[in-house]
Chains A and B, each alone.
Chain A
Amino acid sequence: MATVKVKRPKLHWYEHLYLPAILKGLIITLKHAMESLRGKAQGGKSLATSGLGVTMQYPEQKWDDQLPDYYRGVPALVTDEQKRERCVSCQLCEFICPPKAITITPGEIQSEDPWAKVEKAPQKFDIDMIRCIYCGMCEEVCPEQAIFLRQDYAMTGTTRGEMVNDKKRLYEIGGIREGLVNKWNELK
């Protein structure tokens, strides 16, 4: 490896004192403080502040409508326009999940089911939200477009058990998603 010698910058004598720089910083802070008191803080409007500074008054105020489309919140399962549960329990998300938050028990779709030709669906699908790190790998790896990271971010619970999202809850959070690839169509 090549060695690069960096020259130490030469400081003026008043820079060695430090005090002028500290004063400069204090003045900037004071300027912002005065501006926020006059209701003119930077970004104050877009973040819907209470008027005093940029501090949002959470949870009375929330930034949900400010979330970008690519925001990675709680992972959830989705159904499509035909009310079909898209997950076929291929367990790729369970495999890829870095903190091992996903546990799936695969199962077979009964022959009387209208979607019997899909053959496979999860019996159980648990995501442990204490473990989840919201990385989005499950969404990326899913070959059936069945799992998506939603915009929900406030997961709370008083026990460990409450923090595990089971299949029913995952479909509640996920809801219906339209415009996905219809792989299991009538030609299949």
Chain B
Amino acid sequence: MADSAPATAEKLPKDLAAEKGLVNVQVDGTWVQVPAGTRMIEVCKIAEKEVPHYCYHTKLSSPGNCRMCLVQMGMPNRPPPGESPHYEDDGYQQISWMPRPVIACANTVTENMGIRTTGELVEECRNGVMEFLLINHPLDCPICDQAGECSLQEFSVEHGRGSSRFEEMKVKKPKNVEIGPRIRLDDERCIMCSRCIRFMDEVADDPVLGFIDRGTHTTLTVHPGRRLDNNYSLNTADICPVGALTSNDFRFQMRVWFLKETKSIDVNCGTGCNTVIWTRGNEVFRITPRENNEVNSSWMPDSHRLNFHYLHAETRLGDPFVKIGSKHEISDWPGAIAKTAEELSRFKGEEIAVIGSGRMTNEELYLLRRLADTLETDLLSLVPRVGESDGKLISADRNPNTSGAKLIWASRNPYAKLESIRQGVVTGKIKALIVFYEDLLGDAQFKADDLANLDFLVSNHILTNKTAKASDVVLPGAGFAEKRGSLVNITGRLQRLNQAISPPPGAMDDWEILRDLVKALSPDEPSRYLLEEVFGEIADEVEEFEDLTLSKISDLGIPIVETGESIPLLESEKARITAGEIVG
């Protein structure tokens, strides 16, 4: 012991770090060990020192054009020829500080380097850059949608002057320009960080944006004859540090400081992009992507993020309906559930079929199977929804929970029996049909005449549709922002859906509807009061869910099964990280 201790003590910090493949960097007087070649701004992030920046984005290349991240850099003295470097008592070489600042976003670190993120030089640089950025910036904050989440506002509090010294006329540029169907451009607000240009070029593969003119007249614009109509265009509004690019959909809807953020996931395709749902009161105002490097990086397709307005549609079902004669009458929940159970008990098991949806959560699918078991029918199927993958984030499977259905139903193809159910309805072999979350005349491709063959049809919907009109009992359910639950995406990652708002007063959470139906049909069923109890039952039954709970899923989800599927956008991003183009 005594012999080996001095040997390690004699080792210099640089050697200790090199053993782990790291280098020592001093940030504001504190030494940290980081991998060689890490960018200075990332080192400062590790050392928990803030470096203000506009143009730098971890998922994009670093042109270093905003100049806001200037820091002071120091390197060890180079010894005269023939001399070996001198190490201080603490084992580090003395750092000589450079008289000029460097940008932290595009420079990498080496052994014994020093970074100062504070001090007179750095502060003066930031103040100067801020003043230049604000020279031509319009006083638009009261009408700007970015206000409240604007980097320019935030940093001008710390580094701004408070009042302008600029006495000349501000440069006029185009304002309120519609450069695409979903994006609006205000060139006066633009600070020329080029994040949007790089995003469209590097991630969306649709380089339609660019700068024209020079100096203070530099203007962001769209290529002549082209529009910013890519399905990923709204991501440019997300990464715009100012209010130059704003969303048409969210335009003047609500100030962001009123909105409550709920972490959730997207349910429009099998990828299951991680999202934030922004709500005020009981209304969803917008949905933005949330960073998850295993699912959607930092991006999200426009078609998916804008698909929430139906939650507040006029056609939303607000009460359970029971058909009396040929007319639907508003009922109460106990009445509608009792009526359904009573009608269903008239039929034999083989006369009943159950159709569910790949948009349902694991918990709902589990209870749907319990319902089919209680009715002693094996005619249980989901409705397939197949599109084309866009080679980025939209998967070919447009159902968000096919992988979950495979696990919960222990079935290789949860869509297999749809065709035989359809045939059974046509021939009249199936007399009662239970439909959850699907319009039979839509993706399930039933015909209106077929439904007339049925003796009893009970369906659950969010919006009124033709299936609901043909149903004997209609049970209004909850939308994706109105319920909790878990889903498994195409790569086999278990993710959590969180409740952002509550369903309309007369509607009910879908798992509760299923629970009540099962309980009404078979009083011996255990009483379930919490969604956690249903998840617990799944965990007991399905091997992949073993030892899991809803809260253990966490915000970023956990991989539970190997499906062999991958997300194309992540693959291309991994290649760029390996090539050193981006930090990732």
Contacts and interface: CB of A to CB of B under 8 A. Distances in A.
A183 B143 CA distance: 13
Contacts of B258: 91, 94-95
A91 B175 contact: no
Size bracket of the B interface: 10 to 19
Interface centre among A106, A108, A144, A183 (most CB of B within 10 A): A106
B566 interface: no
Nearest to B145: A120
B139 A108 contact: no
Given A95-B258, A119-B176, A120-B143, A89 B252 contact: yes
B175 A143 contact: no
Contact of B143 (A94, A95, A119, A187): A119
B126 to A, nearest CB: 25
Contact of A106 (B139, B175, B253): B253
A92 B147 CA distance: 11
Contacts of A107: 252
Contacts of B138: 188
B245 to A, nearest CB: 15
B252 A106 contact: yes
A187 B168 CA distance: 12
Contacts of A45: none
Nearest to B140: A119
A91 B176 CA distance: 21
Given A117-B175, A143-B141, A183-B139, A90 B255 contact: yes
A118 interface: yes
B529 interface: no
A144 B144 CA distance: 13
A138 interface: no
Given A95-B257, A106-B254, A90 B143 contact: yes
B142 interface: yes
Nearest to A108: B252
Interface in A140-188: 143-144, 183, 187-188
B142 A90 contact: yes
A88 interface: yes
Interface residues of A, number: 19
A95 B255 contact: yes
Nearest to B257: A95
A119 B252 CA distance: 9
B251 interface: yes
A88 B70 CA distance: 37
Given A90-B142, A188-B138, A108 B251 contact: yes
A118 to B, nearest CB: 7
Nearest to A144: B142
Interface in A65-109: 88-92, 94-95, 106-108
Given A90-B147, A143-B141, A120 B255 contact: no
Contacts of A143: 141-142
B530 interface: no
Contacts of A89: 252
B410 interface: no
Nearest to A142: B142
A187 B255 contact: no
B278 to A, nearest CB: 15
Interface in B99-154: 138-139, 141-143, 147
B9 interface: no
Nearest to A91: B255
Contacts of B141: 90, 143
B169 A118 contact: no
Contacts of A183: 139
A143 B153 CA distance: 15
Given A108-B251, A188-B138, A88 B143 contact: yes
Given A187-B169, A188-B138, A118 B143 contact: yes
B275 to A, nearest CB: 24
Nearest to A123: B252
Contacts of B252: 89, 106-108, 119-120
B340 to A, nearest CB: 41
Contacts of B139: 183
Interface centre among B143, B175, B258 (most CB of A within 10 A): B143
Contacts of B143: 88, 90, 118-120
A94 B142 CA distance: 13
Interface centre among A88, A91, A187 (most CB of B within 10 A): A91
A88 B142 contact: yes
A143 B142 CA distance: 7
Interface centre among A107, A119, A144 (most CB of B within 10 A): A119
Interface string B164-180: 00000110000110000
Contacts of B170: 187
A188 B138 CA distance: 8
Interface of B: 138-139, 141-143, 147, 169-170, 175-176, 251-255, 257-258
Given A88-B143, A143-B141, 6 more contacts: A92-B142, A95-B258, A106-B254, A118-B143, A120-B143, A143-B142
Interface of A: 88-92, 94-95, 106-108, 117-120, 143-144, 183, 187-188
19 contacts: A88-B142, A88-B143, A90-B142, A90-B147, A91-B254, A91-B255, A91-B258, A92-B142, A95-B255, A95-B257, A106-B252, A108-B251, A108-B252, A117-B175, A119-B143, A120-B142, A120-B143, A143-B142, A144-B142
